[in-house]
Chains A and B, each alone.
Chain A
Amino acid sequence: MSLNPLRLPPVAALVILVSLAIVPMAIAALTLTINNSPEAYIPPQSEAAILERQLRERFPGDEVLVAAFVSEDLYQDAFLERLEQLVATMQEHPLVERVLAPETMDHISGTADGFVVEPLLDAAIRARLDPDERRARLLADRFAPGLLVSEDGGLIALAVRPRELDNSLQRLSVEDAFKQALAETGLEAELVAMSGQLPLDAAQLRATIRDSLTFVPATLAIGLVLIAWLFRRWLALVVALAVINAGVGTALLMLVVLGQPFTLITAILSPLMVSLSVAFLLHWYNAMAMAERQKSASEADAAATSPWRVRRAWGAIHRPALFSALTTAAGLISLSMSEIPPIHALGQSAAVGVLMLYLLVAWILPPIFARWDRGAWARPGKGIGILDAPVAWLRRLGMRYPRWVLILTVLLLAAGAPQVANVEVESDLFRFFHEDHPITQSNQVLTERLSGVTALEVVFEAPARDTFKQVEPLREIQAFREWIAARPEVDRVTTLVDMIEEMHWGFHAEDPDYRRLPAQSDLIAQYLFIYDGTDLYELVDRDFRITRVLLNLNVNGASKINAVIDDIEAFLEQQALGELTFDIAGFGRLFADQERLLIEGQIRGLMLAVGLIFLLMVVIWRSFSAALLCMVPNLSPILVIFIVMGLFGIWLDMATAMITGVAVGIAVDDTIHVYYGYRSRRARGRSPVWALARTYQHAGRAVTATTLILSAQFLLLLGSPFMPTNDFGLLTALGLVTALLFDLLVLPALLMVTAGWWWARGQRKAALSAPEADRSSRAEAREVSRRS
């Protein structure tokens, strides 16, 4: 039974199209959450995520908003009063767990007959000190320098620590509340830096939303303008808008179904789906226009009717559209090999979106166009005719000098291949923004004047309660502290031992000889027994069975953090820790783990993409050698992308890790359209030269136009201030253009070389049996060659 694209009643098709254009988008808009936190990038069942959850049941999180102030009057009442007011306002915010500031941080001190744990500098203490004494008090504190005050005393900072937040909008709300409190207290002028994971996430969210609001309409506009310019039909334009909406809406709804939030990674979904929708539509509209051009005299009457045109166009593209939908989906689904949830979800959602696009274009649009499309289709705009010359030139080059083209291509790729080794697998959240972005500059100020903002926690666990009141386990922590503090990547180390040393010192009237760990466990237990502050329990649980060492690293890149983690593990494994076990946690660990997941996901994803596409090619062409041949123009762009990344120092990070899957998935469409045309003509007994020439005449312009439109849409992303979006746009466009060059130049060369032998053999056979046919074929080939 033959397939009938017009079986669906037009009204039903219209209702389906309108419903799909509205319903998924509306549901997604109402239900999609936004969460860009580090936790969103780690699989919930991964070791690091489980450890993180367990740790947060006992200890506060390390997500903070750090604000730093510089002023001539930092230690005057006027400034400190406003700072206290700011702290008080933020303490009252329902999403804030604690504000670490001179006013709220414990300070341990001793006198001749006393001992006290009191606020470092609150209003009461401020009242009895002059500005110089206040400065001296902050600088003399064991914990404040590098955290709340710079070593030179010229900068004062505070850290707002939120409660466990569920999504990025809450982070944005805390940041907004902080900015409002800043304005109310009049401290905006003194603020020189605002950084930490919370503002970073808020900045990423703002950039993501900004990009979405900019690039989705922009890519949409480009697509619609080009469709309008090329095909000049209102119906084509309105239908395109509905199809794009349905494609984007379906993909976003899929995100909701997968339980994934909108992140900076999944934000790419919308422009990606717009581009893919435009690609599918271009092939359909091009086929409609071509159908009309190709009508013979006998078909003239029939061609005047829309159903005829639709059937003809459908016959030309439904198979390649299905094949390209399957291969694009395969390329995208390869991203689901990544364990990083947003990448995983992006692949699956986009794949489902692509299949939806195929269903719409192949089965819903034909009845609509058959029923409501009136009048003749304009030839694709003349402007696009300028593409014919370069397309023809490239194809001729590939056909006339196939061996040279192939040799040169291999040589160029071989020359560039060593650059692949230079591709650095690295993610640095702070390099996601340009150098002049406030978050990058703030990070620089804090790293230079206070301490690095990458938090790492080394968690020690003992089997029995009160272990960390004993001298021996504490000595192990002390030894670790001494070792880690000497590393250049470590700016600050805070341990339980520091607190005990301070109490010992305070109890001995601040005699420097006593700023050490006491030798008796009983004394340690008694110090800890009478400790009446709050900071201690940020370092040890109330059972004194689990303690954490807090590290501030001045490196932000995942691989550099991983190097520190590896060294810590190696060091601690060599230590005689007895019954103590250790784990490494915190934001640094979560982030560093992403690097491993990225590499594994990239390798597995690439293998899956190549394997799936190859298998589909075998099924589609029913030929192993044809499938192998079609892989060449699609694998080479991956190599070119990696060469360019190595050459220009572009990191393989969260965003660029997705490019190969996306680029191959899209680029393979062109190969399919070209090779499908070539094979159909060859199947009809045409010579390779003739088949190639006709195929490129018909499909060459369409694939070139599609690639140029898609590339333009991806290049738009270069306007983003957000580096991952930038890199993604640039490299995907590069992959698409490279794939096009391979399709136009290398594929004909390959086909010429591989088909040459078969053609020659066929000629010999034909010459023996039918000399007339031979002459005819040769004349045909000459004619095609002359025309081209």
Chain B
Amino acid sequence: MQTPFLTDARLFLALSLALLWALAMPGLALADTERGRALARQVYERPDGRDTASYGTMILTEAGREPRVRRLYSYRRDGAGGEVANLIRFTAPADIADTGLLTIDRADGSTDQWVYLPALGRDRRIPSSRKGGRFVGSDLFYEDLQDRKVDEDRHRWLRQETLEGVTTEVLESIPTDPDNSVYGRRLSWIHPKTLIPMRIDFYQPGGKTPFKRLRVYKVERIQGYWTVTDSLMQDLESGHQTRLTADETVYDQDLPERLFSNRALKDPALERPFRP
């Protein structure tokens, strides 16, 4: 039979543990936030060269339909002061050949985007507010093509989790300014060695379940840089999928700044010499 003393002792112990937990929580939470932020910075600053040029395929698939296959070149250049420039040029199918998209992510977090239509022979600016627009009918939003600075989100390390046999760090990122992103939350499963997110779940603002998921299927070391060469973005509601593969990738060609201009966007000949 239990004595009153023992009962009181257990109660005291339980209360003490609860108090300790309550006192420790903010500290623990703070630790997770710090760890998360550090991890996010590591991912952002992961070595990926001064510039990249790659040639690959974008495959759009949907149940009951033949996949749509597009061939494209993409170029990236890290500029001074944190500016990042991207140029994407489609080469196939024929009716969209030479269509291009130029994205300049400024150091202050703003983004300029232009699209070029060869049949019209002119480029047009896409407003930066159009983050949630689907890029060329794929499952990538314009926001997914933009450079996202570490400070634009609040990060929190959640846990370690094994993903397909690999231990990953699970990181939660929530936009500091809700108007700054189409997503309400992102969960990333980060491979600690390559610092590449092997999976990202995207949540709508207020959403309880993810509506989009990015999976990385293949990572290769090219010129000493870890490079994603096969990934899949899934719309979890419609089942629509966009697969991106990189057949050839070249780093550090010293891509010139003029390659990321409206003139180069309108003239595919300017970037041809830098194709991998």
Contacts and interface: CB of A to CB of B under 8 A. Distances in A.
A231 B102 CA distance: 93
Interface in B143-160: none
B248 interface: no
Interface residues of B, number: 27
B117 A507 contact: yes
Contacts of A469: 95
15 contacts: A57-B64, A114-B125, A114-B127, A115-B125, A115-B126, A116-B130, A507-B117, A521-B95, A523-B119, A525-B119, A526-B118, A529-B99, A529-B136, A532-B130, A532-B137
B113 to A, nearest CB: 10
Contacts of A525: 95-96, 119
Contact of B134 (A114, A118, A465, A532): A532
B115 interface: yes
Contacts of B96: 525-526, 529
B137 A465 contact: no
A116 B129 CA distance: 10
Contact of A526 (B119, B130, B142): B119
A115 B117 CA distance: 12
B276 to A, nearest CB: 23
A113 interface: yes
Nearest to B206: A92
B65 interface: yes
Nearest to B240: A542
Given A115-B124, A523-B120, A533-B133, 13 more contacts: A115-B126, A118-B127, A118-B129, A118-B130, A124-B179, A465-B66, A466-B95, A526-B118, A526-B120, A529-B99, A542-B65, A542-B137, A543-B66
A292 to B, nearest CB: 75
Interface string A82-121: 0000000000000000000000000000110111111000
Contacts of A530: 99, 115, 117, 136
B65 A116 contact: no
A124 B142 CA distance: 18
A507 B120 contact: yes
Interface string A57-92: 100000000000000000000000000000000000
A522 B119 contact: yes
A117 B129 CA distance: 10
B62 interface: yes
Nearest to B118: A526
A122 to B, nearest CB: 10
A525 B137 CA distance: 12
A532 B135 contact: yes
Interface string B206-229: 000000000000000000000000
Contacts of B95: 466, 469, 521-522, 525-526
B93 to A, nearest CB: 8
Interface string A7-51: 000000000000000000000000000000000000000000000
Interface in A514-560: 520-523, 525-527, 529-533, 542-543
Indicate the member of B95, B115, B125, B129 with the most A CB atoms within 10 Å. Answer: B95
B49 to A, nearest CB: 29
Given A522-B119, A526-B117, A530-B115, A114 B124 contact: yes
Interface string B90-118: 10000110010000000000000001011
A638 to B, nearest CB: 51
Nearest to B135: A532
Contacts of A542: 62, 65, 137
Interface in B60-85: 62, 64-66
A113 B179 contact: no
Interface size, A (range)? 20 to 34
Given A507-B117, A507-B120, A526-B119, A532 B142 contact: yes
Contacts of B118: 522, 526
Contacts of B135: 532
Contacts of B179: 124
Nearest to B70: A529
A529 B99 CA distance: 9
Contacts of A527: 117
A465 B68 CA distance: 10
Contacts of B64: 57
A407 to B, nearest CB: 71
B124 A526 contact: no
A697 B150 CA distance: 101
B119 A117 contact: no
A529 B135 CA distance: 9
B124 A113 contact: yes
B92 to A, nearest CB: 12
B143 to A, nearest CB: 11
A740 B99 CA distance: 82
B117 A523 contact: yes
B119 A520 contact: yes
A113 B129 contact: no
Nearest to B142: A532
Given A526-B117, A526-B118, A526-B119, A116 B137 contact: no
A198 B121 CA distance: 47
Nearest to A528: B137
Nearest to A506: B124
A486 to B, nearest CB: 32
B101 to A, nearest CB: 8
Given A115-B124, A116-B127, A118-B127, A526 B99 contact: yes
A701 B265 CA distance: 97
B176 to A, nearest CB: 18
Q: Which 4 A-B pairs have the closest CB atoms?
A: A532-B133, A523-B119, A114-B125, A525-B95
A536 to B, nearest CB: 9
Contacts of B133: 117, 532-533
A108 B58 CA distance: 26
Contacts of B125: 111, 113-115
Contacts of A115: 115, 124-126
A124 to B, nearest CB: 6
A232 B179 CA distance: 79
Nearest to A545: B65
A507 B130 contact: no
Nearest to A522: B119
B275 to A, nearest CB: 21
Contacts of A111: 125
Contacts of A507: 117, 120, 122, 124
Interface string B166-203: 00000000000001000000000000000000000000
A469 B135 CA distance: 18
A137 to B, nearest CB: 15
Contacts of B90: 529
Interface in A696-754: none
A543 B135 CA distance: 17
Nearest to B138: A532
Contacts of B134: 532
A382 to B, nearest CB: 73
A124 B182 CA distance: 13
B231 to A, nearest CB: 20
Contacts of A118: 127, 129-130
A507 B125 CA distance: 10
Contacts of B137: 529, 531-532, 542
A125 to B, nearest CB: 9
B37 to A, nearest CB: 29
Indicate the member of A507, A530, A533 with the most B CB atoms within 10 Å. Answer: A530
A334 to B, nearest CB: 43
A631 B208 CA distance: 69
Contacts of A117: 130, 133
Contacts of A114: 124-127
Contacts of A543: 65-66
A583 to B, nearest CB: 19
Indicate the member of B99, B125, B133 with the most A CB atoms within 10 Å. Answer: B133
B150 to A, nearest CB: 25
Nearest to B62: A542
A768 B129 CA distance: 114
